[in-house]
Amino acid sequence: MSSLRFAHLAPTLFITALASACMSTKHVDETPITLMRNGDRIAEPTRATDAATTVALEARIEGRNKRDSITAAAYAGCAPPVCAALGRGELALGMTEAQVLAATRSTDLSWTSRRSGNVDVLAPRDLEASPRDAVAPVALVQLANGAVASITYREPQGLRTVSSAADVDGANRARAVALSKEGDALAAAGDFTGALERYDRASVVDRADAELQYKMATSLDKLLRPIEAELRYKLFLHQLELQKIEAHGNANAKLAEAMLVARERIVVLERRNR
């Protein structure tokens, strides 16, 4: 057969092969698909997974029970200032080791302890997940004769040590000022809910700042909460009277204006709440 004849047969052979391929039997996986219906349950987990889950659950329960025991011991017979600090979740000078653990919501597993005579030094066992109180992460706690003598915090600007009442007062004032400024910025942006949260936190830290009562009152007023707003306006004026502040002159012009606004709003809110 000549090569010319093969050339003529080539298209026919190609088409025949293509048709055979298309007509070949298809193999379909006919394995049934399992469907879940209401009331069906998945298979039980493997024993290894079940055991690991049980161990983790038992560890969490044990840790929680241990923290509860520490907290109960911390509150037993604590002095009023220490009890108040425990309620805020904040370390305070004069606390015992159990009270340190309760204030930081931790256990002894979170700390390393070094004793030298009558001095104990507590340091976080893990710097990446160090215990913290309501103020900041804690870097060191030093106890003398079983009572906290100094607290070192790890803050964005560096380490800060509190070892006296003056240090506590200064730190509290700085925190209150920072929180108040954050509240002012949020209020200026129209976020009165966020502003109120900052003012509330600042007032807990620095109860002597009467202006915070006024800022909370105006935020509550804007949030259409007249009963609370009226109360805060009254607390603002009452606190000024107790402090015997006279709002006169340029230095106190802002405070004098706030007093006038507070009195006006009290009248309006009293009429509205009747």
pLDDT of residue 250: 46
Which pLDDT value is given to residue 179? 86
User: How high is the pLDDT of residue 242?
Assistant: 57
Q: Which residue has the higher pLDDT, 223 or 174?
A: 223
For the CA atoms of the chain, what is the radius of gyration? 35
Q: In the Cβ-directed half-sphere of 112, how many Cα atoms lie within 13 Å?
A: 7
pLDDT of residue 139: 92
Average pLDDT over residues 21-50: 60
In this predicted structure, what is the pLDDT of residue 248? Answer: 47
256's tokens: 């004098």
Helix (H) and strand (E) counts in the chain: 9, 5
**Partners of 138 in beta bridges:** 153
Given this structure, which CATH class describes domain 167-273?
Answer: mainly alpha
- Which residues contact residue 132 at a Cβ distance below 8 angstroms, ignoring those fewer than 6 apart? 104, 138
Higher pLDDT, 264 or 272: 264
Output the six-digit token pair for 35. Answer: 């469907």
pLDDT of residue 131: 92
- Is the model more confident about 96 or about 268? 96
Q: Which residues pair with 111 in a beta bridge?
A: 124
Does the pTM of the predicted model rise above 0.75? no
**pLDDT > 90? residue 72:** no
Domain ranges for the chain: 60-163, 167-273
Strands 119-124, 138-144: pairing is antiparallel
Contact 147, 94 (CB under 8 A): yes
Asked if residue 82 lies in contact with residue 92, where contact means CB atoms within 8 angstroms, the answer is yes
Residue 111 CB contacts under 8 Å (≥ 6 apart), including other chains: 101, 122, 123, 124, 125, 131
Give the model's pLDDT for residue 59: 64
- At 117-158, the pLDDT tens digits run 889 999 999 888 889 998 889 999 999 999 999 999 988 778
* 79-85: average pLDDT: 90
DSSP 64-82: HHHHHHHHHHHHTT--HHH
pLDDT for the residue numbered 142 = 94
> Cβ distance 226 to 270 under 8 Å?
no
User: What is the rounded CA–CA span in Å between residue 22 and residue 18?
Assistant: 6
As to burial, measured by CB atoms within 10 angstroms (0-12 exposed, 13-18 middle, 19+ buried), residue 184 is middle
> What pLDDT is attached to residue 187?
93
For residue 220, what pLDDT is reported?
92
Angle at 83 between CA 80 and CA 85, to 5 degrees: 110
Q: pLDDT at position 112, please? A: 92
State the chain's mean pLDDT as an integer.
78
